[in-house]
Amino acid sequence: MENLENDDQSVNKMKDFLYIYNKMAETCFNHCIENFNSRELTHSEETCIEKCSSKGIAVNHKLMMCYIDIQPEVINKRTEELQKQQDNLNMINNNNQ
């Protein structure tokens, strides 16, 4: 059972990675590609794509760092909410007995 959960998590992580990668590739392509007259990238297109992808990676890293910083707070709040709900249910059950 645990292996299935790990597999599901791995699949979800891969899906998330591919989504971000594809979104960044699409964004940079739409921003940087000027014409379709040649199979080869022009120098300006190549430079633009390098800058765009570097910026996308940097933004993703910053977002992940923010997520890592606030995630413990989110988990603590959610745990407190669940504990309050459980306490309320226990109180209701005790009153009904």
What is the per-residue pLDDT across 50-64, written as a single tens digit (0 to 9) for each? Answer: 999 999 999 999 999
The pTM for the full model equals 0.61
* 8 Å CB contact between 27 and 52: yes
Q: What is the pLDDT of residue 92?
A: 86
Q: Ramachandran region of residue 76, left (φ > 0), alpha (ψ -120 to 50) or beta?
A: alpha
* 8 Å CB contact between 28 and 49: yes
Residues 6+ apart with CB under 8 A from 56: 24, 27, 28
Q: What is the pLDDT of residue 58?
A: 95
Residues of the chain with pLDDT under 50: none
